[in-house]
């Protein structure tokens, strides 16, 4: 049975977050909102049992990916309930349009993605020609792809100051596309012929990416300039260049950094800022990963 969250005198109600969890029980509560996508990390302090009771709304869909083992929840529907155990990498999908009542047993650590109904509708129409979107409700099912993406998102939430908006947008589109492929109620047309950008659209996209290399460039803005949806644009850009927009731009930033390291006396911190990195440490990590050696060492080698 559900526990009463009110005091015996009904003088106060313990505060809950936007997903119906008791805020006082959350050890970690992180959020990154991009509009059509919202990424969250919810981790409890202990193994206390708690309840969620939320009426339906038009918020869209919620996808939860468990980052640890040991959580169990009972989901109620009318006078019946079903129990689901969560292992690392287990997922659940919740349609906010439906009333949701559940009893949460044991501690949990979830990476959550909230997708707007507009995003699901637009992506569904683009892929299948239907504007009646939907995702199957699942709970406790293993999904290795979402488990991998959740680990990436967890690191992104922990280092939001270094998170590229371009990269975050691409993650949201990738997750939404995977969800429709695997759990969508409409037929997929993902087996259609691969689509490529026209020469004009490729040049326009690259020019916009480079022009905004030091700003918070938006895929939506670039896709709109090409009269394409975000998900279509990302797939077409990758098919055309063998890179996602984020990967392509990151390579151009590193190319610019190498040129400055070789031909200027600018400090590493100055080069980091000039190439659009959040700080010197972010620049050093990225350069080392992509080039195979730290920028300071690379500069000394090429100047011998």
pLDDT in tens, 76-108: 988 899 999 999 999 999 999 999 999 999 899
The reply to whether 115 falls in a domain is yes
Looking at residue 120, what is its pLDDT? 81
Q: Is residue 192 part of a domain?
A: no
Residue 223 Rama label (left phi>0; alpha psi -120 to 50; beta):
alpha
pLDDT of residue 5: 38
Residue 194 forms part of a structural domain: no
| Position 133 pLDDT exceeds 80 | no
Q: What CATH number is given to the structural domain containing 163? A: 2.60.120.10
Count of H helices and E strands in the chain? Answer: 10, 10
Closest CA to 112 of 17, 25, 39: 39
Residues 175 and 293 in one domain: no
Same domain, 87 and 166: yes
- 264 with 226, same domain: the answer is no
**Which one, of 9, 33, 19, lies nearest residue 163 by Cα?**
33
In a domain, 295, yes or no: yes
Q: Examine the domain organization and report whether 54 and 172 are in the same domain.
A: yes
CB 184 within 8 A of CB 93: no
Is 35 domain-assigned?
Answer: yes
Looking at the structure, do residues 269 and 204 belong to the same domain, yes or no? no
Q: Is pLDDT at 3 greater than 50 in this prediction?
A: no
Q: What is each CA distance from 197 to 25, 76, 223, 228, in whole angstroms?
A: 49, 47, 11, 10
Residue 205 within any structural domain of the chain: yes
Give yes or no: residues 174 and 33 share one domain. yes
Q: What is the pLDDT of residue 1?
A: 34
Residues 30 and 177 placed together within one structural domain of the fold: yes
Q: Residues 197-224: what's their mean pLDDT? A: 82
Number of domains in the chain: 3
| Count of other CB atoms within 10 angstroms of residue 21 | 19
Angle at 268 between CA 265 and CA 272, to 5 degrees: 115
Does residue 293 share a domain with residue 207? Answer: no
pLDDT attached to residue 287: 92
| 80 in any annotated domain | yes
Main-chain dihedrals φ then ψ at residue 111, nearest 5 degrees: -100, 125
What residues make up the domain containing 290? 254-302
The Cα-based distances of 284 to 216, 258, 272, 277 in angstroms read: 20, 12, 8, 9
pLDDT exceeding 70 applies to what percent of the chain? 88
Residue 188 falls inside a structural domain: no
What's the CATH number where 291 sits? Answer: 1.10.10.60
β-strands 100-105, 139-142 pairing: unpaired
Strand partners, 52: 102
Residue 187: pLDDT band with limits 50, 70, 90: low
Q: pLDDT (tens digit, 9 = 90+) per residue, 7-42? A: 334 434 558 888 888 888 898 899 988 877 899 999
In this structure, the answer to whether residues 237 and 263 fall within a common structural domain is no
In the chain, the percentage of residues whose pLDDT exceeds 90 is 35
Tokens 């998170």 map to which residue?
163
Same-domain check for residues 122 and 219: no
Is the same domain home to 41 and 164? yes
Asked if residue 108 lies in contact with residue 42, where contact means CB atoms within 8 angstroms, the answer is yes
User: Average pLDDT, stretch 228-257?
Assistant: 87
* End position of a domain, from candidates 135, 151, 183: 183
Query: Helices in the chain by DSSP H: which ranges?
Result: 117-128, 144-158, 165-183, 199-211, 219-225, 230-241, 245-263, 268-274, 280-291, 295-302
> Do 154 and 272 belong together in one domain?
no
SS3 content of the chain, % helix, strand, coil (to 5): 45, 25, 35
Q: Is the pLDDT of residue 198 over 70?
A: yes
Residues 238 and 250 sit within 8 Å (Cβ to Cβ): no
d(CA 115, CA 107): 25
Residue 99 has, within 13 A of its CA and on its CB side, a CA count of: 6
Contact 91/146 with Cβ under 8 angstroms? yes
């Amino acid at each position: 049975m559900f526990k009463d969250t009110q005091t015996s005198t009904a003088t106060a109600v313990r505060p809950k977050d936007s997903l119906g969890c008791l805020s006082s029980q959350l050890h970690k509560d992180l959020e990154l909102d991009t509009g059509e996508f919202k990424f969250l990390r919810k981790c409890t302090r202990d193994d206390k049992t708690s309840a969620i009771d939320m009426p339906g709304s038009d918020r869209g869909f919620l996808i939860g990916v468990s980052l640890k083992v040991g959580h169990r929840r009972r989901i109620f529907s009318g006078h019946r309930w079903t129990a689901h155990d969560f292992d690392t990498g287990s997922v659940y999908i919740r349609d906010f349009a439906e009333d949701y009542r559940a009893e949460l047993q044991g501690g949990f650590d979830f990476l959550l993605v909230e997708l707007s109904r507009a995003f699901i509708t637009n992506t569904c129409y683009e892929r299948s020609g239907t504007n009646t979107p939907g995702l199957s409700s699942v709970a406790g099912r293993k999904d290795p792809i979402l488990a991998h993406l959740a680990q990436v998102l967890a690191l992104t939430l922990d280092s939001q100051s270094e998170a590229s908006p371009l990269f975050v947008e691409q993650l949201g589109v990738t997750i939404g596309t995977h969800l429709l492929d695997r759990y969508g109620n409409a037929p997929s047309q993902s087996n259609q012929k691969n689509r490529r950008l026209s020469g004009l659209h490729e040049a326009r996209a690259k020019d916009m990416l480079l022009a905004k290399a030091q700003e918070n460039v938006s895929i939506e803005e670039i896709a709109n300039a090409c009269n394409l949806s975000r998900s279509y644009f990302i797939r077409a850009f990758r098919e055309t260049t063998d890179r996602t927009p984020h990967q392509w731009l990151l390579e151009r930033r590193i190319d610019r950094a190498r040129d400055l390291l070789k031909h200027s006396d600018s400090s590493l911190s100055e080069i980091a800022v000039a190439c659009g990195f959040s700080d010197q440490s972010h620049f050093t990590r990225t350069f080392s990963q992509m080039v195979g050696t730290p920028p300071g060492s690379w500069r000394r080698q090429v100047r011998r």
